[in-house]
Amino acid sequence: MIILTLDTKKCMSSLLLSEAFDHFFFIEGEITTFGKFTMDGYMQKDFFAEPPRQSYAFWKDIRPYCFSLIKGKRTPLGFRFIFSLSGDDIPAFLEEHRLDFTPQEIQGLFLNFRFDGSRLTCTTGVSVSKFTLDKSLEQTWDKWAQALFAGLQIPFESEL
């Protein structure tokens, strides 16, 4: 787990105005402006004529709603978004980095965004279904997240 302090303007542009994070699952979020808006990304499969395969909505499906709440002349008082690498992307991630985990053991590879009204941070997180002292997955995910922000040209400072 690492905490990255991100360039707010550049990251917000990537989050809300580009497709950079569209392939991530949106787990949950909260935006505070004149009111507090809480969102759960869990797919309510009964809503659909043909139930979706995935358990969570993709950020691309939630992004327009979040943008409509955040846009305007006034900065939000705060927000938090929890993203996870999609289930389809986890096997490729494990294979690419030659990690000794199975996709079934990975409960989530998370990016936790938090804006407090003046500072935007992203905390990485990993959840596995078994006890392990092996930190290779966590360390690889931390490096991958830093490479993601660097590739998107979003300046950041690492706190941990």
Digitized pLDDT (tens) for each residue of the chain, 160 residues in all: 999 999 999 999 999 999 999 999 999 999 999 999 999 999 999 999 998 889 999 999 999 999 999 998 899 999 999 999 998 999 999 999 999 999 999 999 999 999 999 999 999 999 999 898 889 999 999 999 999 999 999 999 998 6
Nearest to 31 by CA among 74, 72, 80: 80
User: Rounded to whole angstroms, how far apart are CA atoms 124 and 48?
Assistant: 32
Number of domains in the chain: 1
Instruction: Convert the pLDDT of each residue in 55-85 to its tens digit.
Output: 999 999 999 999 999 998 899 999 999 999 9
> Which range marks the domain in which residue 38 is found?
3-158
Contact criterion met (CB below 8 Å) for 82 and 28: yes
pLDDT value at residue 51: 87
Nearest to 10 by CA among 158, 157, 155: 155
Answer positive or negative: Cα dihedral of 4, 43, 67, 64.
positive
pLDDT value at residue 72: 85
